[in-house]
């Protein structure tokens, strides 16, 4: 925290959702959930279990209503977040453990469920995986809602409505709390914990609410109704901002809107560098939200279709035919542009529940995920491969295997793909003639054997999020050390360069689908290192395409050479910033002066 003579106090956090807002603050203190404990007579235990079942039904109904509201307000992709919430409520292991707790202890159902759920949460929170830790918030959200229903408490508005225009500050926000925000009143969000990739932040970005997370001690410092300014671009928060700060940010907000309008004006222009090299910027998608929206996006195709939501939105796995219809619709929508379908990446927070797989691991998140899960359940995997192959007759399709860590895994996956192909041919089912298969490079063990993997696939796709975390040994969800999660580390740049070089030597294209691809500072470097294409979220597409049209491929190669010579992160950062400022020229000149 920084103080000045005008009473202004400046806080730093993590920029999570872009935008600048200013207004009165409203602090939301969540506190601990108090759950009563009392003994239940043996003859009333069946009543407690029946009450539990009623509570589950009501909670499922409420979450379904929230999902429908989010789908209407924002879109299918954001609404699919709540499919995982529903799956928690259908987890037979959790339900049976709770019933067993009632039988063995004789305590009331609220207390027993709270105890069992906390054991799950504590176990998951200890797992050293950023994505899993983020989803612990989702489990807490569902747990709190169910307990509220069992206790007969109201939890619809959380005190957010009727306040007038305000900036909400809190320790954290759950996805359902964020989904129910009144966007006509909540101008911005500031939380003491959280990460850029949490479900709540994804929801805030989709609702166009500026957000800064990881702002320590702000609840203690802030007073109700105090003026606050939120800078969702750089991660700064000001309590009682000075007139000078308000004027400066007023100019910034105006110019930023003008810049975003410029991005959109060129959205459908060809994505060609100044030296006439055509590049593709494609989309990362979670679900099959809005075909019309994707067709009009200006994207060069789908660079990453995460298929997990098809499997998490139901208590049973979708059939081959059900999957085929989804893939077919997406391929037809994007034709003639390619669609890259990543095969099932269950594991981690996307827990293969006992109701789905027939058993429950003691520790379901460690080790058994991605391609390992698929190879273990080859029948399920082949159903998906068959569905993808069938959809390939309707357009260009690429198959991408997740979490490849060894050549053995890649060979086994390819063998199952070939089996699926031969089965369809024997059944006289038409399939496409040129289906490419690729490997995700997201763990160091895969990065160092790309020369071996290249002989068994047609392309690589780098998942920079996980790759960076494993390389740097940094839990990027831990906001106390998030600053160490620096993509401009020489180790990261050199590892990326090695992957691109191995791909080029063996004529295997290398795309990038992680967050770095959408970073305007790093996109030119990735292209200079050798990226064949970039895949980004819909919100980043216009800016990256606009940027590409303002530099030459030759310039990016020189940038890559300079960065590879740097010995420290700060030197690399300066090179990237200088390149970006030169490429964007007049577009950011005013912003820089502000």
Fold of the domain spanning 266-593: TIM Barrel (3.20.20)
3-state class of 130 per DSSP? helix
Domain with CATH 3.20.20.60 in the chain: 266-593
Burial of 570 (0-12, 13-18, 19+ CB in 10 A): exposed
Determine the Cα–Cα distance for residues 528 and 521; give it in Å rounded to an integer: 12
Fold of the domain spanning 1-243: Enzyme I; Chain A, domain 2 (1.10.274)
| Mean predicted confidence (pLDDT) in 492-498 | 97
Determine the Cα–Cα distance for residues 33 and 114; give it in Å rounded to an integer: 10
Q: Is the pLDDT of residue 142 over 50?
A: yes
Q: Is the pLDDT of residue 305 over 80?
A: yes
* pLDDT score of 183: 77
Q: Is the pLDDT of residue 419 over 60?
A: yes
Q: Worst-scoring range by mean pLDDT, 17-26, 83-92, 421-430?
A: 83-92
Residue pLDDT, tens place only, 569-581:
999 999 999 999 9
Cα dihedral 373, 405, 202, 196 sign: positive
Q: Is the pLDDT of residue 359 over 60?
A: no
* pLDDT score of 438: 97
Determine the Cα–Cα distance for residues 344 and 323; give it in Å rounded to an integer: 11
Task: Take residue 577 and report the two structure tokens written for it.
Answer: 């910033």
Could you say which of 114, 166, 199, 353 is catalytic? 199
Quickly state the pLDDT bin for 362 (edges 50, 70, 90): very low
Percent of the chain past pLDDT 90, that is, above it, reads 49
Highest mean pLDDT among 72-81, 361-370, 422-431 belongs to: 422-431
* pLDDT score of 129: 55
As annotated, the binding site for phosphoenolpyruvate includes 306, 342, 465-466, 476
As annotated, the binding site for Mg(2+) includes 442, 466
Look at residues 481, 512, 478, 479 and name the one whose alpha carbon lies nearest to residue 495: 512
Q: Worst-scoring range by mean pLDDT, 86-90, 495-499, 519-523?
A: 86-90
Domain with CATH 1.10.274.10 in the chain: 1-243
| Mean predicted confidence (pLDDT) in 3-15 | 76
Determine the Cα–Cα distance for residues 104 and 110; give it in Å rounded to an integer: 15
Residue 167, beta-bridge partner list: 25, 188
Determine the Cα–Cα distance for residues 194 and 14; give it in Å rounded to an integer: 9
Determine the Cα–Cα distance for residues 298 and 322; give it in Å rounded to an integer: 28
* pLDDT score of 296: 83
The rounded mean pLDDT for the chain is: 84
Residue scoring higher pLDDT (369 or 172): 172
Quickly state the pLDDT bin for 350 (edges 50, 70, 90): very low
Q: Is the pLDDT of residue 364 over 60?
A: no
Residue pLDDT, tens place only, 40-96:
898 898 999 999 999 999 998 888 888 877 776 666 666 777 777 887 888 888 899
Could you say which of 211, 333, 513, 563 is catalytic? 513
* pLDDT score of 174: 74
Known catalytic membership, residue 513: yes
3-state class of 169 per DSSP? strand
């Amino acid at each position: 925290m920084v103080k000045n003579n005008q009473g202004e106090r400046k806080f730093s956090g993590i920029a999570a959702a872009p935008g600048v807002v200013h207004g009165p603050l409203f602090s939301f203190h969540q506190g601990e959930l108090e759950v009563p404990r009392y003994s239940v007579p043996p003859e009333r235990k069946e009543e407690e279990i029946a009450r539990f079942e009623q509570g589950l039904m009501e909670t499922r109904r409420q979450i379904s209503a929230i999902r429908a509201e989010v789908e209407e307000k924002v879109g299918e992709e954001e609404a699919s977040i709540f499919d995982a919430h529903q799956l928690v409520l259908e987890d037979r292991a959790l339900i049976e453990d709770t019933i067993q707790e009632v039988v063995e202890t004789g305590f009331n159902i609220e207390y027993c469920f709270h105890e069992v759920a906390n054991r799950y949460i504590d176990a998951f929170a200890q797992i050293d995986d950023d994505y899993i830790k983020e989803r612990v918030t989702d489990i807490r959200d569902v747990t709190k809602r169910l307990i509220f229903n069992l206790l007969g408490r109201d939890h619809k508005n959380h005190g957010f409505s009727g306040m007038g225009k305000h900036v909400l500050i809190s320790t954290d926000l759950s996805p359902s709390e964020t989904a129910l925000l009144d966007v006509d009143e909540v101008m911005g969000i500031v939380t003491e914990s959280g990460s850029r990739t949490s479900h709540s932040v994804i929801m805030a970005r989709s609702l166009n609410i500026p957000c800064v997370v990881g702002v320590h001690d702000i609840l203690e410092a802030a007073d109700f109704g105090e003026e606050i300014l939120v800078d969702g671009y750089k991660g700064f928060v000001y309590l009682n901002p000075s007139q000078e700060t308000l004027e400066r940010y007023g100019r910034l907000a105006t110019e930023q809107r003008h810049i975003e309008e410029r991005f959109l004006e060129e959205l459908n222009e060809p994505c060609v560098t100044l030296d006439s090299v055509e590049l593709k910027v494609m989309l990362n998608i979670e679900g099959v939200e809005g075909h019309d929206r994707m067709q009009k996006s200006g994207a060069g195709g789908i660079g990453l279709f995460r298929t997990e939501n098809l499997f998490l939105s139901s208590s049973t796995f979708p059939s081959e035919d059900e999957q085929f219809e989804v893939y077919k619709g997406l391929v037809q929508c994007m034709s003639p542009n390619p669609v890259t379908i990543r095969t099932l990446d269950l594991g981690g927070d996307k827990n293969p529940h006992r109701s789905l797989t027939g058993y429950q691991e003691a520790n379901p998140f460690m080790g058994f995920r991605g391609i390992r899960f698929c190879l273990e359940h080859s029948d399920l995997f082949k159903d998906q491969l068959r569905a993808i192959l069938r959809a390939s007759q309707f357009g260009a399709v690429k198959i991408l295997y997740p979490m490849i860590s060894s050549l053995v895994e890649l060979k086994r996956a390819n063998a199952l793909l070939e089996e699926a192909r031969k089965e369809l041919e024997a059944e006289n089912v038409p399939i496409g003639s040129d289906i490419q298969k690729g490997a995700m490079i997201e763990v160091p063990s895969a990065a160092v054997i790309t020369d071996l993997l290249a002989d068994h696939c047609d392309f690589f796709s780098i998942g920079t999020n996980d790759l960076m975390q494993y390389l740097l040994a940094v839990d990027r969800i831990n906001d106390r050390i998030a600053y160490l999660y620096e993509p401009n580390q020489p180790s990261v740049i050199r590892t990326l360069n090695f992957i691109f070089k191995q791909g080029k030597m063996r004529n295997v294209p290398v795309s990038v689908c992680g967050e770095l691809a959408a970073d305007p500072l790093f996109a030119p470097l990735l292209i200079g290192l050798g990226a064949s294409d970039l895949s980004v979220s819909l919100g980043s597409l216009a800016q990256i395409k606009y940027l590409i049209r303002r530099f030459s491929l030759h310039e990016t190669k020189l940038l890559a050479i300079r960065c590879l010579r740097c010995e420290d992160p700060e030197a690399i950062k300066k090179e990237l910033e200088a390149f970006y400022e030169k490429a964007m020229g007049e577009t950011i000149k005013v912003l820089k002066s502000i």
